[in-house]
Chains A and B, each alone.
Chain A
């Protein structure tokens, strides 16, 4: 047996994140003792209608979230307990809502910093209704082997170590949440463990105090002794002493009280929980409480450390008298399935990776490109072209090469609004489409006819140079196998109207006195083709391609230089349209050659 919480306890949790975390802990306990999850519902208006996912074993349970406690108990009439995880400013309303629900018999409030007046009103209301209001600031309630309410008991390993999977003989009542686990652990190590442990909260006037719970323990035959962990301040311990001393009690009482340090501290210095606020040597002091408890017949160890041996002694007596028998430990306990991260850490599983990367890693405190930390690159004077070199070709390019890349990017950043890419972006921008989609609309245009010839140009010029072809051989090869030479030809530029960008780039690269076999070959090709037709000149794609191949970039990366550079322009066009608040545009009819059949009658459907 146990008190307050048992196998028939079903819970609604009022509150958000903290409540969900508690539900996860409660699910771990349910899994350990092989019962289904006792959390039936959440009440959290902002998420009403959704569900919270609670891991249970290796699965996930979807627990519904309702707007009100009434809705929750209507859908889950077995609910008889509410845990309140609502902020201090709204806790009172939430607590009242739960107390007023006829299904609910126990409300435990975890919220800290609840105004004293509110706590007193809640406690009083519960008493009137014949219900139990536990808390505020309660860590929770746990009955070994049957029910956990809140995070009391701690992590799964601790539940097992503290033998919370089966009943013992000791009841526990503490003000302190942190010490509840300690006492549960002590009871499991020095005796046979606990029946029920209750955190009543450290406030001055908890909704339910030691006496009410002592009374319940007295009536629970499984509980043979009760441990209370008290604190200076208030009169709860004195009242417990009064109760214990009033008549012969079946349960044994073991108590410790903290706050003796107060006697040797500077006057007026007080600390600890909200309730620990009174008393030097008079009423409410640790000494006064200890003495009262001792006088009432309780065992009061001199220090916290002596608590374990004192519990052991009582347990030995209980064994000897035959009131309790040595517990039979379960042979096999369920193990909480490890998360994949934990299992990997413990070297228990090998997971074949889904992807493999060789260029970058941001698992540390900053990204590393091909192993080089970004900040170090910045601080040592490297620039964007070097990052391109690292991420696209896994090498640290030279200053000279970086300068070439930079110039290529500057030359191809934009080419006005009329080209396919910019038009795509502008039309999308005018239709009110967002930045990334509009830029994507422009990028989609990059292909065989617009901007996408760089890779192919580079590929074929390189092929020719690698195979030591003559220009004639090359042109024959291209005519036979490919078609027009990528990188050669322009829609508007010609010999008489040369492309300044090409001139600029060729001039610069040539001035560097570096070896440029591809560029040289491309220029030779131009000499032949431009004679055949005025506009078959080496275009900017072809020039870029040849130069980039010459400085070692892999053929497959070459279109990237155009895509990257032009993205700058596309973003500019989108921002430009946005800034002007441009309106939706459509083609004018006169710009369309309507070559479709004339209007005609639709034949009957067969």
Chain B
């Protein structure tokens, strides 16, 4: 699942015939000033300026400013660009026209196990969250397109009447087309508003989650996906993502500041059990990591390097289940090189390493790990006869 920021999200909606407010995404005041000269609406409309970053609670942070003229928007842009919020530096703002309206509605489309749900409510904004029973749902089976009748009934059931009924039916239909054509997991417009001047439905705010796996058939997805955890990716995380995108198999790395137990386990499934075990034993995770699918040894070495660079770690958990086809000796070779490099750089002082693994060439791999003891590493190596997460118990008993 891949989150898309408002700008590109609104771009996709516009592409499929939904009306969105005029907007521009800028990286500097100069850019906005130039655009102001070229675009009538920037001069004439009241404007909203928002930080265009994957941040929650932008209102509270003062990163949303409303009811501005162009001069005010420029001032707000100047104020926001370059601001640091946690690990994120605001690099872009989105400037859009304010849409005068009285009525707010809600429309969303989401992927379900059996197909797709289209959701419509005749209230919007924060009101919909407290009145969830007013949301009406049209459940579609996999591959099924909504009929005009079904869409109209959905809008009708949600309480739309008269000319608005037709407009909402049309809006929901276009939402579905956008969702279906763009391989979305989730599309939400809240609020949908009725523009006063022409009584047209406008998508005022969009949440867009796309299926990152479908990128291969969307050459026009020229935007970057946003991090989903309310902070920007760190330099080390981005380096591992770059490696991951290049290799057969995978390597994953996410930093968790403040932890002291570093994770270097194999497998998307086992890695979570290892993390669970650390938490269950009262440990504090310093990161999440995982390598799987028989990745090349150099990729595992880069991952090891990042894990060893985590500050303040006391233990490194090199766990893993019994692999199907990941070559234990080869991948451990990468880890061993990473450990040696880290040690030569003065890292790993006082850090205990815990190893448990099985799989193709397990004996050779485990023997090579054991041999690190002779090089002065504080390393404890276990084979398949030690249950998966017992090394976590042993590691955390010691500290």
Contact = CB atoms under 8 A, between A and B. Distances in A.
Most buried by A among B285, B323, B390: B323
A266 B259 CA distance: 11
Given A115-B183, A276-B272, A304-B277, A139 B228 contact: no
Contact of B142 (A120, A152, A182): A120
Interface string B282-294: 0001001010110
Contacts of A178: 266-270, 292, 320-321, 323-324, 326
Interface in A431-468: none
Interface residues of B, number: 58
17 contacts: A89-B217, A112-B293, A115-B183, A117-B214, A155-B359, A155-B360, A158-B322, A179-B321, A260-B280, A261-B272, A266-B229, A271-B272, A272-B269, A276-B272, A302-B280, A305-B389, A305-B390
A341 to B, nearest CB: 13
B308 to A, nearest CB: 20
A264 interface: yes
Nearest to B179: A117
A154 B322 contact: yes
A38 B123 CA distance: 60
Given A185-B322, A235-B113, A273-B268, A179 B213 contact: no
B359 A181 contact: yes
Given A112-B293, A161-B384, A258-B273, 10 more contacts: A117-B111, A177-B324, A178-B266, A178-B326, A179-B267, A179-B270, A185-B384, A258-B276, A267-B230, A271-B271
Contacts of A89: 216-217
Given A267-B230, A270-B229, A303 B276 contact: yes
Interface in B111-155: 111, 113, 115, 141-143
A177 B272 contact: no
Nearest to A118: B214
A113 interface: yes
A202 B280 CA distance: 23
B252 interface: yes
A79 B387 CA distance: 39
B217 A174 contact: no
Interface in B134-185: 141-143, 180, 183, 185
A544 to B, nearest CB: 50
Contacts of A114: 213
A179 B273 contact: yes
B304 interface: no
Interface in A397-415: none
A180 B113 CA distance: 24
A123 interface: yes
A263 B384 CA distance: 29
B254 interface: yes
Contacts of B142: 120-121, 123-124
A256 B272 CA distance: 12
Contacts of A115: 183, 211, 213-214, 217
A261 B278 contact: yes
A525 interface: no
Given A116-B111, A182-B388, A259-B276, A272 B271 contact: yes
Contact of A308 (B252, B326, B387): B387
A271 B389 contact: no
B388 A202 contact: no
Interface string B171-207: 0000000001001010000000000000000000000
Interface in B288-343: 288, 290, 292-293, 320-326
Contacts of A117: 111, 180, 183, 211, 214
B269 A229 contact: yes
Nearest to A186: B387
A386 interface: no
A161 B360 CA distance: 13
B322 A304 contact: no
A289 interface: no
B1 interface: yes
Interface string A98-121: 000000000000001111111011
A286 interface: yes
A25 interface: yes
B358 interface: yes
B275 interface: yes
Nearest to A302: B280
A266 B256 contact: yes
B67 interface: no
A83 to B, nearest CB: 14
Interface in A249-292: 256, 258-261, 263-274, 276-277, 286
Most buried by B among A123, A176, A180: A176
B54 to A, nearest CB: 10
B321 A303 contact: no
B75 interface: no
A236 to B, nearest CB: 8
Most buried by B among A231, A234, A272: A272
A21 interface: yes
A21 B228 CA distance: 36
A88 B267 contact: no
Nearest to A239: B113
B242 interface: no
Shortest Cβ-Cβ A-B pairs, 9 listed: A176-B269, A178-B267, A182-B321, A115-B214, A261-B275, A258-B272, A181-B322, A124-B142, A268-B229
A305 B278 contact: no
A154 B325 contact: yes
Most buried by B among A153, A205, A286: A205
B35 interface: no
B371 interface: no
Given A185-B384, A261-B275, A303-B389, A25 B270 contact: no
A116 B210 CA distance: 10
B272 A185 contact: no
Given A179-B267, A266-B229, A305 B277 contact: yes
B393 interface: yes
Given A153-B324, A178-B321, A276-B272, A261 B267 contact: no
Nearest to B253: A271
Interface in A184-239: 185-186, 202, 205, 229, 231-232, 234-235
Given A115-B211, A116-B213, A271-B272, A181 B324 contact: yes
Contacts of B280: 260, 302-303
A304 B391 CA distance: 12
Contacts of B216: 88-89
A88 B276 contact: no
Contact of A268 (B228, B252, B267, B321): B228
B389 A304 contact: yes
B238 interface: no
A151 interface: yes
B85 interface: no
Nearest to A122: B142
A172 B180 CA distance: 35
Interface in B202-247: 211, 213-214, 216-217, 228-230
Contacts of A121: 142-143
A175 interface: yes
Contacts of A124: 141-143
Contact of B324 (A152, A205, A229, A273): A152
Contacts of A186: 387
Contacts of B360: 154-155, 158
Contacts of A266: 229, 256
Contacts of B389: 303-305
Contacts of B111: 116-117, 120, 205
A286 B276 contact: yes
Contacts of A179: 267, 269-270, 273, 321
Nearest to A127: B142
A413 to B, nearest CB: 43
Most buried by B among A258, A261, A271: A261
Nearest to A184: B322
